[in-house]
């Protein structure tokens, strides 16, 4: 299944004992439809407040219900913050997480004086004079294979911290700015740390090549703040 969701009111993707999660809501809906507990496997977890335009999840069932009927039934049960965009049968060896070749994240920034309440949930509002040219140039330093350990939050159980970034660029339209990053994988809060550091370069708080220095430094060098979750979208998953 391909899902999209507004993560504003959820405690992230992953099912938890407390708090409402996207995985928990979808699994609950599937259990009602299939009259059986369902274990949903996703392409990856999104944190509390993070959105998705294209999240992928798969599950196994022995029920003879068509994907189209599952999609229709789920969309009639789920809150309007979650929608199933498409559903289809796949081979038994498909794994929503381990079959992923790359993922694309998008981060939205708005630099105007005030932001519309209809957009505030999806942008980091920074009423500042950011140097977008400098920021776009800075992004080239994360291209390729690097150790992103300095851009990983504490509490992660991931063993390897090397990731390969294939694309990283910025698009600007007036006061609206979006940063796109595609990689073969992402560490816990990696994108939000990258964006926070990038903004500090754009506002002149950090000198250029800060991202490069952080990728080459084992420790001691300060990164930027954690960018708010509301501006982050899981934009695409590629198989």
Residue 184 is a catalytic residue:
no
Residue pair 150/37 in contact by the 8 Å Cβ criterion: no
Q: With H, G, I as helix, E, B as strand and everything else as coil, classify residue 4.
A: strand
Q: Which of 47, 93, 147, 184 is catalytic?
A: 47
Strand 176-183 versus strand 162-173 pairing type: antiparallel
Helix (H) or strand (E) holding 106: strand 102-110
Question: Which spans in 48-202 are helix H?
Answer: 67-77, 132-138, 190-202
What are φ and ψ of residue 26, in 5° steps?
-70, -40
d(C-alpha 188, C-alpha 159), whole Å:
12
Which residues does the annotation mark as catalytic? 47
């Amino acid at each position: 299944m391909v899902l999209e969701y507004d993560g504003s009111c959820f405690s992230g993707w992953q099912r938890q004992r407390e708090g409402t999660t996207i995985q928990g809501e979808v699994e609950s809906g599937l259990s009602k439809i299939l009259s059986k507990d369902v274990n949903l496997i996703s392409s990856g977890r999104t944190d509390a407040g993070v959105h998705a335009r294209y999240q992928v999840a798969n599950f196994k069932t022995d029920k003879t219900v068509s994907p189209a009927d599952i999609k229709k039934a789920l969309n009639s049960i789920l809150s309007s913050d979650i929608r199933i965009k498409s559903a289809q049968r796949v081979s038994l060896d498909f794994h929503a997480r381990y079959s992923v070749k790359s993922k694309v994240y998008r981060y939205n920034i708005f630099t105007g004086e005030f932001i519309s309440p209809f957009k505030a949930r999806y942008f980091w509002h920074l009423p500042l004079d950011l140097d977008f040219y400098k920021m776009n140039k800075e992004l080239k330093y994360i291209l390729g294979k690097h150790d992103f350990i300095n851009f990983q939050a504490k509490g992660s159980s991931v063993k390897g911290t090397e990731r390969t970034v294939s694309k990283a660029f910025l698009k600007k339209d007036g006061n609206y700015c979006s940063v796109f990053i595609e990689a073969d994988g992402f560490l816990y809060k990696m994108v939000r740390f990258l964006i926070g550091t990038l903004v500090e370069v754009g506002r002149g708080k950090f000198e250029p090549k800060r991202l490069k220095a952080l990728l080459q430094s084992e420790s001691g060098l300060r990164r930027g703040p954690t960018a708010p979750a509301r501006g982050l979208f899981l934009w695409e998953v590629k198989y």
